[in-house]
A and B are shown apart, each in its own frame.
Chain A
């Protein structure tokens, strides 16, 4: 397809539907490199990607709506199930939004413990992504090694919170349990181990030629494009823009344990690798610092069942970027609206932009360079085929639309 044709097609507003189906490579919803169902149509020219169209909504679960039927405390366990990796980020974002609404202040020890778990979670999330980069580039040995080391962090999380994934550790007004006895020594041991491994992996991904040729200059996102497409988290930081909620709007104990914001000017996958490894090292430092400074005292306050009327917005720095919670209370035992904006939602446009001009071989590693969590992101919007007009619907409109749609189908 020539550039003129391309411009013509863009001018008329037609999407990928206009192209011949032969040139379109389906990527998803079921594909070995995507762990969650999401559909990307790649318009190929040989191996080169000309255009990408993302279609989301395969795992929309209606969690926001379900949250309106639960009491405030039950919602903790619901919202941490939005994401399997950054579940603690979700639970503290929600807890802190509700705490801000009621005006209660969490005891200092509770905030420190929250910080420690949030950073442990960042380590395990980043290690997960780093291992998967190995898998996507066909380097399964790296994948196994990194996940082997990640297992130690998960064991640590299990020892503290009682579960590896859904930690159920934060509650309204603090954390549910104190740190177990003797955790400080094992924490120190594990953090030193992780630090050592991170040093090794930094060296490996920088010097192993086959990884370097697969990641350097691949999936480059320029700073201008980043400003235009508004990605968040490591993806944004890799373009040289220093943004970190932990520093700019400190929550939990981040005002006392200050993270070091890492940036890079490359914006490619190699710089993302380095950035995330550096962040893991920084998290290790912060955890040890927090353990050393851990104040005595209570870790939790009693929290009332009813939350006063009002709106509250809270954002935290989840491992993948800025996670945003809006909570509205009508003064009852249930929230009347909870809105979640997960980091993947902000990043997906940038990821599709990054893909253009690369080859099919780069798709897995570029598409997932943002560390996607499609399950967290999915939402429902209706697109009219042909015109490309889209809109959001409320429940009643959706119902009428469904009736009309299916009556046409007989």
Chain B
């Protein structure tokens, strides 16, 4: 793989980082608006039309606030952890095909890299939580790690299902195998398991256990403030985009769509359109689940993942093996 200037520009701008950060802000706005709508409120209204600039305004306002680093915290991790934490979903998103059927960067085994990204995000979160040395963060990290160890297995199992169905281990290969028939048709259970595990990964209700504000204040983010907090929150939204994009890619055919046109420019527009629609669909699914449920306790979450979702994912995997064969 050689880095041409066009590729660098693509990674940094359009289907790459800038596009996804933009999507992260849009998703936050949509989340706040839809949650407000079903709760009988209006949500953000002031900044921009329908308050669409509100997440951006919040981000810049927060990044200009005073930053307090606790005396007893590990200064090194507090300083260099957040950029690494931010880098994880940003790096993962480059492997997701958006404007074409193949991603900007791809190799034969990039599904394994996705596994790595997902666990690295949690690892960074728990490192940051421990490094900040707060009482609430410590409890939150305990919950985070326990929750991770419970949702990881069903999540990875459900991610293997598309790989088995397509016989490929790269995201681009999985997308290419889905022309005409999306894997959600063959693996609806796998898709459901992945969405539920994604809720847990994103710390959204009903699995917002590691950041439950009524119990442990800010969760593992309690001791962060100012600029760092702004980026940590942005990263959480970026993870949101990442997981939505991943489920759109793995189960909904990514940029595949019903109508194809010839011509480079039109294809790019169509592919991006299909991809964005699917991403928003998954995001709306997550909004709907998160607004309709109460938070469960950590033992209940663990029991759910280990005794119900893991067997389901295994069964789905078995079905996929038979189908793929």
Contact = CB atoms under 8 A, between A and B. Distances in A.
The answer to whether any beta carbons of A and B sit under 8 Å apart in the complex is yes
Interface of A: 25-26, 31-33, 44, 46-47, 134-142, 144-145, 148, 208, 210-211, 213-214, 359-364
Contacts of A362: 297
Contacts of A26: 135
Which of A44, A148, A211, A213 has the most B CB atoms < 10 Å from its CB?
Answer: A213
Contacts of A140: 35, 39, 205, 291
A25 B212 contact: no
A213 B216 contact: no
Interface string B188-224: 0000000000000000011011001111110000000
A139 B293 contact: yes
B295 A137 contact: yes
A16 to B, nearest CB: 15
A39 to B, nearest CB: 14
Given A214-B297, A359-B298, 5 more contacts: A138-B206, A139-B295, A148-B39, A210-B294, A213-B297
A148 B215 contact: no
30 contacts: A25-B135, A25-B136, A26-B135, A32-B213, A33-B213, A44-B139, A46-B142, A47-B139, A138-B208, A138-B214, A138-B294, A140-B39, A140-B205, A142-B294, A144-B40, A148-B39, A148-B40, A208-B293, A210-B293, A210-B294, A210-B296, A213-B297, A214-B294, A359-B298, A359-B299, A360-B215, A361-B209, A361-B212, A361-B215, A361-B295
B298 A361 contact: yes
Contacts of B35: 140-141
Grouping DSSP codes into helix (H, G, I), strand (E, B) and loop, the B interface class, with mixed when no group exceeds half, is: helix
A141 B297 contact: no
Nearest to B300: A213
Contacts of B298: 47, 359, 361
A360 B295 CA distance: 13
A30 to B, nearest CB: 9
B294 A144 contact: no
Contact of B39 (A137, A145, A214): A145
Contacts of B139: 25, 44, 47, 360
Nearest to A21: B135
B3 interface: no
B38 interface: yes
Given A33-B215, A148-B40, A360-B215, A213 B135 contact: no
B294 A211 contact: yes
Contacts of B38: 141
Contacts of A33: 213-215
B254 to A, nearest CB: 32
A297 B293 CA distance: 51
A266 to B, nearest CB: 19
Contacts of B209: 361
B306 to A, nearest CB: 16
Given A26-B135, A363-B215, A144 B295 contact: no
Contact of A214 (B143, B217, B295): B295
B219 to A, nearest CB: 11
